[in-house]
Structure 1
């Protein structure tokens, strides 16, 4: 009888019941955000607590998708008899999730370690790409605040990295994006990288974060013209200090 009741409650949850235990909505990898807030290398935070950055669950439609920074596969959301959320993908691949109030746990599997997720303080606008809520939280935690240019063009000026990707005060750039995964990460090797853009033109740069100091370097391509780019730090372009 108790087992039957539990299944009925689970079915009600996946039918979209309102309340604090509903899985619907966006969940971000908060441990990555908190690790990045400490001001160390971004790559280390991503490796330690990733690779999944954000989940989006829709129990009404039975759909779930996640972003790891370069892909966003969609699977079928269901629930097992023991009350755990399951996400099934083609090829007999499954992820298992556990809901604990305002915390979501992705269980360890052959494809990755256990990972923790929380509701974002700032949810992305409807229709925004999957991963946008995580990026907002990360950008605000990692680069938020006021930075002054200690060395480089514009020395003495104030730089603001906005969480929506806008950039103020850094000469020659009006937008930025941190590299989180995919080709940009593989091309930068062991280094952190970001994209700086002005109008329609942009280029990759490498950076080094140490507490409240941020060094931005030119990205030198060591690969041959017919090979995949392989970047290493070149001349330091800016040294920024967060006040």
Structure 2
């Protein structure tokens, strides 16, 4: 009788444990693949980021109970702790907490007062240990959005091939050897409704407005409509290049 009672209690205990989802390890770099996939269709970059953002990348370490995220212009760190039903909570100093959990192979960020629900995928991008948070997302985005071979259809260097590398290097565009896409923050505020990127040669560079329409990329000089004591308000001026994607 005693043996049967022990077995019965053991069955109840094991059944109760099985009903609680395990806290699977969520350590690693997670990127907003949905935003990247939307941008890769070849439309407005900012619209894609806003539709699936605002957060772009998570860096999570369950061993140290640390979790960080970036939304493109700020990097926020929080304390990670397990909650019930397989949920991890990230507590941020001075702000509300965020709930994270795994849904299959994806990381789910639960909806909160200020943010919608978001889904992230494990990053397969190789980055250096010293690279800042957000590098994995930016490299994946640059590859999806501007990767491949482009040809200058109009502008200086017409007929030449242009390559945008994931690390920010630029080959083939006359007078330029580096670029950066504007994702959020001050550069986005300055360009308003327009997409913008930074083009640079050596230590000298300038913001440009661009329009992506499928396999065509137009790059414009950026003009400023602001007063001297105001934040710049950029708008497109002279069209400098038209690039066409070859492959």
TM-score computed with the length of structure 2 as normaliser = 0.91
CA contact (8 A) 1:7 1:83 kept: no
Pairwise CA RMSD = 1.7
Residue 39 of structure 2, aligned match among 29, 36, 40: 36
CA contact (8 A) 2:21 2:86 kept: no
Alignment of 1:224-243 (within 5 A): 224-243=227-246
Per the alignment, do residues 238 and 94 of structure 1 end up closer, same or farther by CA in structure 2, a change over 3 Å counting?
same
Alignment of 1:82-231 (within 5 A): 82-231=85-234
- Which range moves more in the overlay, 156-165 or 81-90? 81-90
- Aligned residue in 1 for 2:4: none
Per the alignment, do residues 101 and 214 of structure 1 end up closer, same or farther by CA in structure 2, a change over 3 Å counting?
same
Q: Which has the larger radius of gyration?
A: 2
- Aligned residue in 2 for 1:16: none
Distance in 2 between the 1:152 and 1:128 partners? 35
Residue 7 (structure 1) shift: 11
- Which range moves more in the overlay, 97-106 or 142-151? 97-106
CA displacement, residues 208-243 of structure 1 (integer Å, 9 cap, x when unaligned): 000000000011000011111000010100000001
Distance in 2 between the 1:235 and 1:96 partners? 47
Q: Which runs of 5+ in 2 are unaligned?
A: 1-12
Once superposed, which parts of structure 1, at least 4 consecutive aligned residues long, lie more than 4 Å away?
6-10
Q: What SS class does the counterpart of residue 35 from structure 2 fall into?
A: helix
CA contact (8 A) 2:153 2:159 kept: yes
TM-score computed with the length of structure 1 as normaliser = 0.92
